[in-house]
Amino acid sequence: MADPAFCLCDVSLDDARIEREQAIAVHDLLEDNMFVPVGHAGGPYRLRIALAEGRLALHIATDREAYDVSHYLSLTPFRPLLKDYTRMCESYYDAIRRPGPERLQALDMGRRGIHDEGSELLRERLVSKITIDKHTARRLFTLLYVLLVRNASSRILSS
């Protein structure tokens, strides 16, 4: 278990609709995460994830709202991965409805591989702002994906 002073205690996305992937990612994230804003003495932290002018916005506050900072990341480096991940997820969900576990396994491996790439890219892009572990990065990448899909993925992912 991570140090409670350096973890998330609440996570929300701007869009209020709860989807299964989001609910699972938030649950898993809150159960086990490492979240250390650079230069801060400790939380736990509340994280609100949003889109702002085509960028990913991470709004961070302590559980007592004492510390408030926002970090913005360009989505440009994520677009190719998110497009591939979207296509892979669509193929995976289509394959679930059809017989043939071999195809499903191959698609699942591909989906996981892209997900790993996206979470590692997220860690790299945050390194000067927030230190996160691999599990936290994976869950945050899932939430980024859900947020983008909800906010008209064609508009954001096709830019």
Number of H helices, E strands in the chain: 5, 6
Structure token digits, residue 143: 């939430």
Q: How far is CA 153 from the centre of its chain?
A: 15
Q: Rounded to a whole number, what is the distance in angstroms from the first to the last CA of the chain?
A: 39
Nearest in space to 135 (alpha carbons), one of 120, 153, 155? 120
The model's pTM is: 0.80
pLDDT digits (tens, 9 = 90+) for 45-59: 999 999 888 899 999
- Residue span of the structural domain in which 54 resides: 4-157
pLDDT digits (tens, 9 = 90+) for 87-113: 888 888 787 777 667 777 888 888 899
Please tell me the total count of domains within the chain. Answer: 1
Nearest in space to 146 (alpha carbons), one of 32, 19, 45, 26? 19
